[in-house]
Amino acid sequence: MGIFEWSEKYSVNIKEIDNQHKKLIGMVGQLNSAMRQGKGKDALGKILADLIQYCRTHFADEERIMKAGGYPDYEAHKAKHKWMTDRVAEIFREYQEGRATITLEVMKFLENWVDQHIMGTDKQYAPFLNAKGIS
- The residues binding Fe ion (CB under 5 A) are 62, 122
14/44 with CB nearer Fe ion? 14
Q: How far is the CB of 80 from Fe ion (least distance, A)?
A: 7
62/111 with CB nearer Fe ion? 62
39/117 with CB nearer Fe ion? 117
Contact yes or no for 104/110 (Cβ under 8 A): no
Q: How far is the CB of 28 from Fe ion (least distance, A)?
A: 13
How far lies 3's CA from each of 43, 88, 106, in Å?
21, 21, 15
* Long-range contacts, 19-26 (Cβ 8 Å, 24+): 20/57, 20/58, 20/61, 20/62, 21/58, 21/118, 21/122, 23/54, 23/58, 24/51, 24/54, 24/55, 24/58, 24/114, 25/114
Q: Which residue is nearest to Fe ion (CB)?
A: 122
Q: How far is the CB of 109 from Fe ion (least distance, A)?
A: 17
60/104 with CB nearer Fe ion? 60
Q: How far is the CB of 12 from Fe ion (least distance, A)?
A: 8
Q: Which residues contact 15 (CB under 8 A, 6 or more apart)?
A: 135
